Amino acid sequence: MKNLSLKELNLGLASKKFSSVELTKFFLNEIKTFNPKINAFITVDEEKSLQQARDADKRISQDNMNELTGIPIAQKDIFCAQGWKTTCGSKMLDNFYSPYDSKVIELFNQSGAVNLGKTNMDEFAMGSSNETSYYGEVRNPWNLDYVPGGSSGGSAAAVASGMAPAATATDTGGSIRQPASLCGLTGLKPTYGLVSRFGMIAFASSLDQAGPIAKSAEDCALMLKVMAAHDTRDSTSIKQNIPDYLKSLDNPIKGKTIGLPKEFFNDDLNQEVKIVLEQVIDSYQKMGVNFKEISLANSHLSIPVYYVIAPAEASSNLSRYDGVKFGFRAKEFKDLEEMYLKTREQGFGEEVKRRILVGTYVLSAGYYDAYYLKAQKIRRLIADDFKNAFKECDLILAPSCPSTAFKIGDKTEDPVSMYMQDMYTISTNLAGLPAISSPAGFINKMPVGFQLIGNYFDEATILNFTHQYQQITDWHQKTPGADV
């Protein structure tokens, strides 16, 4: 059951080769074996999972099943799930049991999927290595001394190690694509507004978007089909016809055009990553795809712009953690003011506090125009670059990350060097565009991915191109321990 695709698991369940209870028990057992080393899960609740599996088996016996019925899915601990501890990787929420389901959890429950457990993550999704979690760092299944990436590092490590068939994740600046690249998986960040943010704990509301991390484009297509839905409880959720992403996977790609941003393929690009990307280009050319140089002239400004906008929104969103209505409260204080100060000092980790302080600074009197407004203006320039680029091409090819995974502890002392991890992913969040990272090879036995960026709501084309690449390569089928 370990390396089967979601489609194969669906067929196995439909043909009664195995039951959902058997399948769920199998993965719970894998978690027992591997999680102590990898630390991908914060919360596992066998009884809750098995109850859902029994319900799924009942549905299957009544022929009332769809693609994900009975399949265990790991859920990032950013999604509120009723009755489940939902921590967002923070001490602040260590005692928080959600009284309601997020829209994403609701959709998986409706489809009959089994919640396999809540995955580890950087605290409040702020990080690129999964080292900022209150629950300890997650380890990369390809080499336990290395980070899995972040912030969805637990989701990526769970799937890469075979503890889960697929997982949910979220991406504010690269938190789906970067861990997917570092763990040898396929991860899709949809267009902003495609997946509801209701009940998804907020970091930077104008950038946050949920999506899947899985073993292939086909699995991502199946996951997205469940996750994408209009939701009136999220005022930024878009009313959009959701296409059947599976149906277009085999569409012909011959004669289509992929843009190559000259700003990404310059001397700053890691030479080993460049060689891998050239092989990807070669594979697409063999399938009859044309390449064209394009320009994203303002992309180098993405990181500074992001580190104004994201902390500004975070400082506002995280003001709700005040020790009054839910979550952690400091034990000793002399008055209300001190209760706030100490609760937030003790409840938040270093990186979260740092970003709240940066956000407070850029929004404070006298600096608003110089930082926040300036960043919003450059954000438009970045988005306009993409709009112009898509007049000339169907998709854009880019590196996913500057390098393969780095060693645990290597970047924790220098926040700015950690921020550079997202230099190729952040611009799409600022523009709101969809993008995927797909496995493309290995450098020194560690996985490396490539990124395909699509036009607004064109997830179908992204998945189609990625699937076609995965038909002629087998990088996505490699699992840790394989000779690579």
Partner 1 sequence: MALTDKDIKKLSHLAKINIDSKDEEIVLSKLEGIIKLIDSMQKVNTDNIDPMSHALDITQPLREDVVTEKNQKNDFLKLGPESNEDYFIVPRVVE
Among positions 328-347, residues that touch partner 1 (CB under 8 A) are: 328-329, 333-342, 344-345
Closer residue to partner 1, CB minimum distance, 222 or 436: 436
Q: Which stretch binds partner 1 (CB under 8 A): 41-49, 279-287, 317-325, 389-397?
A: 317-325
Residue 246, classed as helix, strand or coil, is coil
- In single-letter form, the type of residue at position 179 comes to P
How many CB atoms within 10 Å of residue 9? 24
Residue type, position 267, single letter: D
Of the candidate residues 51, 248, 279, 360, the single one contacting partner 1 (CB under 8 A): 360
Q: Which stretch binds partner 1 (CB under 8 A): 119-127, 139-147, 349-357, 476-484?
A: 349-357
Q: 84, 348, 424, 465: which one contacts partner 1 (CB under 8 A)?
A: 348
Q: Is 262 a catalytic residue?
A: no
C-alpha span between 147 and 241 (Å, rounded): 38
In the block, which residue shows the tokens 């902390």? Answer: 311
Structural tokens at position 38: 């990898």
**Of 219, 187, 221, whose CA–CA distance to 9 is shortest?**
219
Of 18 and 97, CB closest to partner 1: 97
Tell me which of 56, 375, 405, 463 binds partner 1, using CB under 8 A: 375
Does position 419 interact with partner 1 (CB under 8 A)? The reply is yes
Contact predicate 149/130, CB 8 Å: yes
Give the contact letters, 437-466, x = binds to partner 1 (CB under 8 A), - = no: -------------------x----------
478 is a contact residue toward partner 1 (CB under 8 A): no
Write down the least CB distance from residue 378 to partner 1, Å: 6
Please state, in angstroms and rounded to a whole number, the distance separating the CA atoms of residues 273 and 267.
12
Residue selected from 62, 232, 241, 271 as contacting partner 1 according to rule CB under 8 A: 232
Supply the minimum distance, in Å, between the C-beta of residue 376 and partner 1. Answer: 4
Structure tokens at 102: 């997020």
Q: Pick the closer one to partner 1 by CB: 243 or 415.
A: 415
Of 378, 423, 446, 448, the residue at the interface with partner 1 (CB under 8 A) is 378
Which one, 306 or 442, has the nearer CB to partner 1? Answer: 306
Count of residues near partner 1 by CB under 8 A: 72
Q: Which of 268, 293, 414, 474 binds partner 1 (CB under 8 A)?
A: 414
CA 401 – CA 178 distance, rounded (Å): 6
Interatomic CA distance for residues 453 and 191, integer angstroms? 10
- Rounded to whole angstroms, the Cα distance separating 221 from 236 reads 22
Our finding on whether 207 is near partner 1 (CB under 8 A) is yes
The 96-135 contact track toward partner 1, x by CB under 8 A, reads xx-xx-----------------------------------
Whether 151 is a known active-site residue: answer: yes
Please count the CA atoms within 13 angstroms of the CA of 107 that sit on its side-chain side. Answer: 24
The verdict on 83 binding partner 1 (CB under 8 A) reads no
**Is 430 near partner 1 (CB under 8 A)?**
yes
Q: Which residue has the tokens 């009723």?
A: 82
Q: With respect to partner 1, which residue has the nearer C-beta, 35 or 151?
A: 151
CA–CA separation, 308 and 374 (whole Å): 9
Q: Is the separation of the CB atoms in 186 and 436 below 8 Å?
A: yes
Task: Please pick, among 175, 299, 302, 438, the residue that the annotation labels catalytic.
Answer: 175
Q: Which of 254, 286, 325, 391 binds partner 1 (CB under 8 A)?
A: 325
Type of residue found at 77 = D
The SS3 call for residue 2 is coil
Could you give the CA distance from residue 87 to residue 90 in angstroms, rounded to a whole number? 6
The answer to whether 76 is a known catalytic residue is yes
Q: Which two tokens stand for residue 45?
A: 């609740």
Token representation of residue 136 = 């300890």
At its nearest, how many Å lie between partner 1 and the CB of residue 124?
Answer: 14
Asked, as a colleague might, if the bond just before 155 is cis with ω within 30 of 0, I would say no
Given the residues 20, 49, 76, 438, select the one marked as catalytic.
76
**Binding positions for partner 1, 137-196, rule CB under 8 A:** 192-193
Annotated active-site positions, please?
76, 151, 175
